[in-house]
Chains A and B, each alone.
Chain A
Amino acid sequence: MSKNVSSDRFRKVDVDEYDENKFVDEEEGGENQQGPDEGEVDSLIRQGNVMGALQAVLKNPPMNTKNQALKDRAEGLVLKVLSSFKSGDIEKAVQSLDKNGVDLLMKYIYKGFEQPTENSSTVLLQWHEKALSAGGVGSIVRVLTARRTV
């Protein structure tokens, strides 16, 4: 076939950016969101108060912010708390959360699945099973349809 001698840079243009009807989500102020308090959570884990640590780490989720580092830090913290639970205690911990808490926990669990580390998947799967029985498939649907997520 003939060789294309003229520029083909036009093929790499993202045409969606120039669509005047392109849907952009509304900006909601996310600058104040700090994510869960690292110090507080660490101290609670050290004290052995894992239930308290779970409540603390699910506070202030960095949902609206664009700061990826903040989100990664929050996810790492959540993972630390989830790993520090004994398998038998997971169910009780999930029961102690309210509906929004279970939804938020599901969001963190799926975020954790995206970047699996050595042991994280096992822990996350145990938590997933318990969170699923508490929140139902609806909580997973909300993870999939959320516009702003952790």
Chain B
Amino acid sequence: MSYYNFLLEPISCHAWNKERTQIAICPNNHEVHIYKKEGGDKWSKIHELKEHNGQVTGIDWAPESNRIVTCGTDRNAYVWTLKGNVWRPTLVILRINRAARCVKWSPKENKFAVGSGSRLISICYFEQENDWWVCKHIKKPIRSTVLSLDWHPNNILLAAGSCDFKCRIFSAYIKEVEEKPSPTPWGSKMPFGELMFESSGTDGWVHSICFSGSGGRVAWVSHDSTVAVATGSKNTVISSLSSETLPLLAVTFITENSLVAAGHDCYPMLYVYDEGKGTITFGGKLDIPKQSTQRGMTARERFQNLDKKASSETEKATLDSVHKNSISQISILEGDKSKCNKFCTTGMDGGMTIWDVKTLESSMKDLKIV
């Protein structure tokens, strides 16, 4: 587990390249900075991508085609390609009148989806004849900002979490670029914009959403401190867990049954999903706190504490966790969603931590990753 502090401001969003040697981050402004890993624990800034006029809210780096897509509050998205040693942007007209909030390349990297405050999702694909990125909208029945997106491995289905308290799965089938899809547990007829699944039962904005490695399950976290998982089938069953922590902001599958989620409590935690029982259980807190030295309290301090705060325990003013502020994004570094070996978290403290699943499993007793 290693922690690196990039800046003093929050990292709005980040994305890794295929080899995991470079990371693109938005340092809470209109730019995207790309850092390269030097030996040891050093990172050096090698590129600055300046084109947006508003804060960059989403970055995604396509591993195979090595293109970066960014979206921002200026209602635009840019696709960046590396020419020589310079990243060149191509504007994508999203036809939205509010800020773009999140962007994701599809698994085959022939299209990407942008969620926005205009209460719609823009699916963008490249049209060869016009040498131009074209977009199609999914509007119904989204009634508020789309906060998070994730693609199904079949390149067609897209899960969207939005501020109208629902998680939905849509079909983003574009006949110009792909073949008709085969049936999935979520349904068989998948015309563009078809709503395959809509969740119910959780209140709170859906901050983050994730398909499992096989695509048969979808997990989401919402602002009422709940984690929920739905398994696709004829009668989809939603299991949810009301957690005792502050709301979570990011979630990802690390195996078919285990989820790692993190949020305002500043540490990642493990959740285990049992499909047979339809339950989600808390697996444990994934943080190795530093052992702080305990100094004894003098009698005077004890009385002062009792007088001012009505408590007789030593209260620590600093956080034990590695991150000192909310974690806003989790990404898989090594492995994939069905078997993850390393994942990375970035947060509002400007820091990035790389977590090793094997090390966590061995260092915390009772932690079982199924």
Contacts and interface: CB of A to CB of B under 8 A. Distances in A.
Interface of A: 21, 23, 99-100, 103, 135-139, 141-142, 145-147
Given A23-B144, A23-B164, A145 B223 contact: yes
**The 3 A-B residue pairs with the shortest CB-CB distance in the complex, in nearest-first order:** A136-B244, A138-B225, A145-B224
Contacts of B204: 145
Interface in B130-165: 143-144, 164-165
Interface residues of B, number: 17
Contacts of B225: 137-138, 141-142
Contacts of A100: 242
B224 A141 contact: yes
A136 B165 contact: no
Given A21-B119, A23-B143, A23-B164, A146 B224 contact: yes
B301 interface: no
Nearest to A26: B200
Contacts, number: 42
A100 B224 CA distance: 13
A136 B245 contact: yes
Contacts of B245: 136-138
B244 A135 contact: yes
A146 B203 contact: yes
Given A145-B224, A146-B203, A147-B165, A137 B143 contact: no
Nearest to B244: A136
Given A23-B143, A141-B247, A145-B203, A99 B242 contact: yes
Contacts of A139: 242, 244
Contact of A103 (B119, B164, B242): B242
A21 B119 CA distance: 10
15 contacts: A21-B143, A23-B143, A23-B144, A23-B164, A99-B242, A137-B244, A137-B246, A138-B243, A142-B225, A142-B226, A142-B242, A145-B224, A146-B203, A146-B224, A147-B165
Nearest to A134: B244
A16 to B, nearest CB: 15
Given A23-B144, A145-B203, A138 B165 contact: no
Nearest to A25: B165
Interface string B332-348: 00000000000000000
Contacts of A146: 203, 224
Given A141-B246, A146-B224, 13 more contacts: A21-B143, A23-B164, A136-B245, A138-B225, A138-B242, A139-B244, A141-B225, A142-B225, A142-B226, A145-B203, A145-B223, A145-B224, A146-B203
